[in-house]
Structure 1
Amino acid sequence: MAATKPPAGLHFLIATGVEKPDPKLRKFIRSHVMLGKNRGKTRSMGKKGQKTKKGVPSSNSNTSLMNVLDAAEALARPSATATRVFTTTSQSVLPLTIPRKFGGDMAAMRFPDTATHSLSPVSFIAKKILFPLEPCVFFERKAETWIAPLTFDPAFLHTMLFTSQYYFDAIAAGKTSALTKVTLHHFLKALKLLRERMSRDDDQAALSDTTAAAIMALSGHALMTGDFDSAMNHIEGLHKIVGLRGGVATFRSNAKLLIEILRCDIGMVLHRGSRPVFFNHLTPHETFLPYPDLTELLNLRGSATMASQYSTIAFLDDVDGELSNAWNALSAFCSVINFAVDSGQYISLDTYLDTMASVMYRLLSMRFGSRSSGEAVRLGLLVFSSSVLLQWRLLGLSYVHLTSEFRGCLVRLASTRTSSQLLLWLLMVGAVSPLLIANMGCCDIYSWDKMQDLLNSFMWIGLVHDKAARTVFNSTIAYVETGEAS
């Protein structure tokens, strides 16, 4: 490490071994942890209050049920002694901004008992629910972006209390009942505070990360409860906030918030068949995100990866270049994920975000003939990527429009001269059992091991797909055996 004084900002440290940092490095870490802790302090009523400074809208808040809750879990468990994060970004220092205080004295409030009661239990399950790839995704800046906003933004606090309480009352219990008295209180309080904020001439508050996070949570709730008009209004409001902030790029420092905003938008499209709000009318300020360059991450696996097995798409005659690019980008991501799972490593949220936004929005914009293999592959990639990158199905929302379109396309495709191997992969991706039997026979596949080999030869993530796919396979085999016995 150079002896010169490091530049001011937020530094990222990656530990690649199990040994403890040396004393100098530990001192450096402690000094940055304490930045701003003892600055501008005043005392009031025997308690410490914090004096914040004015600045640009904060990008250090976060979003969704998982964002607020999982930091509590992090505080209760020891940190990993050896962590290696796969990332496609090379920037090492980001400007550190201090968010402006919202709500006067509310910024110095203590967490109420209701917050502790409602938020703490969810912290242990939220990541697994909201992120299918949770075991191999590294969530940066937990306490800074998930717990801190609860202490200075009451609208954000009440929104998180509302969503967490609703999870226990309805989703976890498998109910679709109306809001309870407690949940309704937090819901109405959050709406009141947000409306008051939007009515004031305060762009910093109205365009802040915590405002966007609160609106995103309300949009997600409306989507899950079938209030699609409200969900769309919230998503359009988020689109305006993002535009006024300067576009998607301005949210890069809070990747988790941007992920959740875009997942709301995509979830609405897959469920209802509507057009996406983001990346719909492309402008110089809003263009598709570029596909992530995962070459360096793939190289970590050695030369075997370079001779990629994910080349089946090249054998399709009517698949254009854009669809091939989407296939290749998602294939590379799957390869990185599988390696991360096997090696116990992690991908960064940026890699997750870049893959989701670049692949899924391009797939949503493509159009092919309803009987073409290109359309089947496009829909199959949407089904596959939604199971990997979205969370709505785990929260009880079905992708009604996507499911209907995909199954209809597969039925039409079955009567064509499409490759039996490709059709079998598509059927397994969509869990379409009725057509599996004939295609398994054509491919001479009657064991799960052989089925796994075929699935992996296309595109597959065992961590996400194996359990459900094996259930479909076993039920199909059982049906065949029962039919033969009778």
Structure 2
Amino acid sequence: MRGKNRRKPKGVKIIPGSWINGSSNDITSTSGQQELAIPSPRREFGGSGLSLCVFAQEMQPYSLELIFNFFTILKHALYPLEVCVDATSTSTVWFDYLRYDTTYTHSVLWSTEAYFNLQRQQPTSEACLFHMSKTLTELQILIAASSDVATRDTTISVVVNLIMSLALLGNIEQAEKHMIGLHHLITLRGGLRALQSNIQLQMKASRADLMIALAINKTPTLLSATSISWVSYLAPPNTPITTVLAQNPELAAIYADLVAFARLANIALQTGTKINPLLFQEILISSMYRLLLLPRTTASTNQPNASACDQTPIVRALHTSLTATAANVFLQTGAIGMRFATLSAHQRRDICALDESAIDEEKEMRIWMLVIARITAVDDSDDEWIMSRLSALLRSVKKSEWKEIRTMLKSFIWMDLVHDGPGQECTKAALAWTDDTDEKQTLAIR
């Protein structure tokens, strides 16, 4: 038994480096899964404790309540995937800005007040208008000042907050104008990678860029196709993928990354642990930028391995479905349900363009695509075209029980926390649609 009872050394698990910064340096290296999924005791701060903090301006009790809601309720609304670590609110850079930057403070008070006005279906309050007016007035002064003032972190943070809040509130036109301004400021700063000393700001700016790109159906502006890595970020090399993507290495790499992240999210949910928040954000940024910058129909001369970008109808539909999946998980909020109308239209166009005859693998993939299309649709406007096709495909593969349907769906990209509830409702409705249609047809014949 000599040596049999000695504790074996744990394998070292390396977390990928920063994709956004093109860095080969690891975010961190740990034993086992310690950093990929770590315990997450909730350390929320009490509202009464805020009265002891010193802010950039005097805070009334009502303002302190808004600040508290910004870091608790609104924060969870903006980041609905609860597998992400909730960092202590007072330790974030955003809380520090409230201590010494009045413009940022007004932007936070405005966005929080506007959010709750919308949620309660109330007209815009006087307090909301006041804080927005102060935000815009002070922001104009900052931008008109020296370039050092205009491009400092707090100024960029105010613009980012305006963009994301306006987009969530449905004012896409104004959000797009601020996005143009943000692009100009970050360009003056030296580009997105120049913000790597403030990783929280860098990632939030990237989220704003991706959100507006999806909302207005244009490519992102802060990164270009020639400046990013197209290889897998999270998935191990030579990860098995669906044969549909065998001739599309760039899209296959994105697919493999999202599969790897879905498995990680499911493990975190099952074990009650939390995913490293930096890893979560890096996957968001790497997958969404690649999906939005990858050509959909024809090869691009600016794209590495351009010949591999030509897409068949099934690959084109899968590309759109992956974009919808990533957007739903990373950008859409459960509280507001922001709808990307053009993306939904592309889903319908690409899925409906597929040939009705398909091999079994493609049939199962189409079922997954249709379920994802319904989950990401936000409202009921897409039900008819989705349900008719979904019910027919479920009949063709002879699946009518949720347990076996779920097993099939999980062979693709499936995050239990996000997809189980609406996925079950969708397939149940599709099966009911079949029964209802058959009954109506029978009555019509009679």
Aligned equivalents of 1:231 and 1:367: distance in 2?
A: 25
After TM superposition, list the pairs within 5 Å mapping 1:49-448 onto structure 2: 74-76=44-46, 109-139=57-87, 142-170=90-118, 172-174=119-121, 177=123, 179-201=124-146, 203=148, 205-280=149-224, 282=226, 286-288=227-229, 291-293=232-234, 295=236, 311-313=240-242, 315-316=243-244, 319-369=247-297, 372-392=313-333, 394-417=335-358, 419-431=362-374, 432-448=386-402
| Aligned equivalent of 1:482 | 436
- Give secondary structure in 2 for the equivalent of 1:316: helix
Amino acid at match of 1:275: T
Amino acid at match of 1:399: F
Amino acid at match of 2:72: F
**8 Å contact kept, 2:245–2:251:** no
Aligned equivalents of 1:233 and 1:416: distance in 2?
A: 45
**8 Å contact kept, 1:139–1:348:** no
Aligned equivalents of 1:289 and 1:157: distance in 2?
A: 38
Structure 1: 5+ residue stretches without partners: 1-11, 17-71, 78-105, 296-305
TM-fit CA distance, 1:153: 0.2
The Cα offsets for residues 222-243 of structure 1, whole Å up to 9 and x where unpaired, read as 3245543432221122223333
Amino acid at match of 1:482: D
Aligned equivalents of 2:214 and 2:56: distance in 1?
A: 42
Number of residue pairs aligned between Structure 1 and Structure 2 = 374
Aligned equivalents of 2:422 and 2:247: distance in 1?
A: 28
Instruction: Tell whether 2:413 aligns with 1:465.
Output: no
Aligned equivalents of 1:453 and 1:479: distance in 2?
A: 22
Q: 1:222 to 1:320 in 2, by over 3 A?
A: same
TM-fit CA distance, 1:124: 3.4
Instruction: Tell whether 2:395 aligns with 1:450.
Output: no
TM-fit CA distance, 1:290: 6.3
Q: 1:201 to 1:275 in 2, by over 3 A?
A: same
Q: Give the superposed CA RMSD.
A: 3.2
Aligned equivalents of 1:144 and 1:266: distance in 2?
A: 22
| Aligned equivalent of 1:36 | none
Q: 1:174 to 1:426 in 2, by over 3 A?
A: farther
User: Identity of paired residues, percent?
Assistant: 22
TM-fit CA distance, 1:333: 1.3
Deviates more, 1:456-465 or 1:369-378: 369-378
**8 Å contact kept, 2:284–2:330:** yes
**8 Å contact kept, 2:370–2:390:** yes
Amino acid at match of 2:283: T
TM-fit CA distance, 1:141: 7.1
Q: 1:121 to 1:354 in 2, by over 3 A?
A: closer
Amino acid at match of 1:361: Y
Aligned equivalents of 1:259 and 1:416: distance in 2?
A: 43
Q: 1:137 to 1:108 in 2, by over 3 A?
A: closer
The Cα offsets for residues 461-480 of structure 1, whole Å up to 9 and x where unpaired, read as 01011111111111122223
Higher relative contact order (CA 8 A, sep 6+): 1
Amino acid at match of 2:103: A
**8 Å contact kept, 1:372–1:413:** yes
- Give secondary structure in 1 for the equivalent of 2:275: strand
Structure 2: 5+ residue stretches without partners: 1-27, 33-41, 48-53, 298-310, 375-385
**8 Å contact kept, 1:159–1:190:** yes
- Give secondary structure in 2 for the equivalent of 1:74: coil
TM-fit CA distance, 1:174: 4.3
Q: 1:109 to 1:162 in 2, by over 3 A?
A: closer
TM-fit CA distance, 1:219: 1.3
